Amino acid sequence: MELVWPAPPYLRSYREALQRGWSPNNLRPQAGEEELAAIRRDPDAYLRELVHFEGGGVGVRLPDGTVVPRLPGYRKWLWDGEFCGSIQLRWSASGELPEYCLGHIGYSVVPWKQRRGHATRALALLLSEARERGLPYVEVTTSPENAGSRKVILANNGVLLEEFEKLPSLGGGRELRYRIAL
């Protein structure tokens, strides 16, 4: 499994995952349908929206419908000959993430490719890229019930910082925040 930049050669396989009901956003399952619509409208524009080294562009829609500014960041796709999942790195110029952003890294593996080590490897690869960007650490969050994600984070030297309540705009509920020193 490798990380690839979202690009036309991978788009068909990505679109098939969305059509099967997978969403790259675990807080907004409907994001998958929105992405399919964006791909149908203009595939090249869609791909460009996944990489914003300076931030800006189209804002990010939270679960409650609020749109917030896009942070600098990018998304990469997990690829093992076909699409496996998505992982995203984001950061802020100030070093501190806004409270509407749960962490520096978010990831999701399609259900039919889970439990193969893809998320663990993807996170390890993206940590190397975060280090190259000069980040001293990254924070990653997951729900307390998500044992698989907790294992992925711990396998990459994550240290539990806190259990906290997510903002209502993010759907509320308990969340665990881990820090991984780079």
Mean pLDDT of 3-24: 97
In sequence order, the 6+-apart residues with CB closer than 8 A to the CB of 146 are none
- β-pairing, 60-61 with 105-109? unpaired
User: Mean pLDDT, to the nearest integer, of 27-34?
Assistant: 86
CA nearest 61: which of 13, 104, 28, 33? 28
Residue among 79, 164, 178 at smallest CA distance from 122: 79
pTM higher than 0.85 for the full model?
yes
Q: What is the mean pLDDT of residues 41-61?
A: 91
pLDDT reported for residue 131: 96
> Residue 94 pLDDT > 90, yes or no?
no
For residue 59, pLDDT beyond 90? no
**105-133: per-residue pLDDT in tens?**
999 999 999 999 999 999 999 999 999 99
The predicted pLDDT at position 65 comes to: 86
Domains of the chain: 2-136 (3.40.630)
User: Does residue 13 contact residue 49 with C-beta atoms inside 8 Å?
Assistant: no
Q: Which of 121, 116, 126, 120 shows the shortest CA–CA distance to 89?
A: 126
Q: Which of the four pLDDT bands, split at 50, 70 and 90, describes residue 68?
A: very high
Q: Are strands 83-90 and 105-109 parallel, antiparallel or unpaired?
A: antiparallel
**Tell me, what's the pLDDT at 56?**
81
What is the Cα–Cα distance from 7 to 28, expressed in whole angstroms? 23
**% of the chain with per-residue pLDDT over 70:** 100
